[in-house]
Amino acid sequence: METIAFLKQVEMFNGLSDASLEKIADLCHTQTFAPGDVIVARNDPPDAFYLIEDGTVEVFTAPENEPSADAVIVSLGRGQSFGEMGLVDQGARSATVKAATPVTVKKIACDAFLHLCENDPYVGFKVMHNIAADLSFKLRYRNLI
């Protein structure tokens, strides 16, 4: 029940029933990271996405060998997610994500989640709709469209 209560706070899962959230909770694996740990690296394959349960992460988009590599693009905290774009396009990671504080995440394998979506199209529709709404908001905020 604790994981379901947490999932209710994650925007990606807005509008899903407790029964749907229970299916997602079954896919969650808890991981912890120390400050400075790299959780995902730019150009890695998108094997999983992450939901921040506790702590803060920093997102970097510049390659490590560029002078601007230390510039933090965004900080994310409890209830926010990263790596979910791999669900949409299966493309390589576009950013590196490091733990800024001690971090606890729920890790969900992309393959397992996509399998759930194939077997429960409503979950797939709602999640992809929520991801699209989030991307639309971010694009408008940055005046990219």
CATH architecture group of domain 2-140: Sandwich (2.60)
What is the model's pLDDT at position 142?
63
Q: Please state the separation of Cα 10 from the chain's center in Å.
A: 10
Domain ranges of the chain: 2-140
Dihedral angle computed from the Cα positions of residues 105, 106, 110 and 116, in that order, rounded to the nearest 10 degrees: -160
What average pLDDT does the segment 116-140 reach?
88
Q: Is the pLDDT of residue 143 over 80?
A: no
pLDDT at 45: 87
In this predicted structure, what is the pLDDT of residue 137? Answer: 76
Q: Which of 10-19, 24-33, 66-75 has the lowest mean pLDDT?
A: 66-75
* pLDDT score of 117: 93
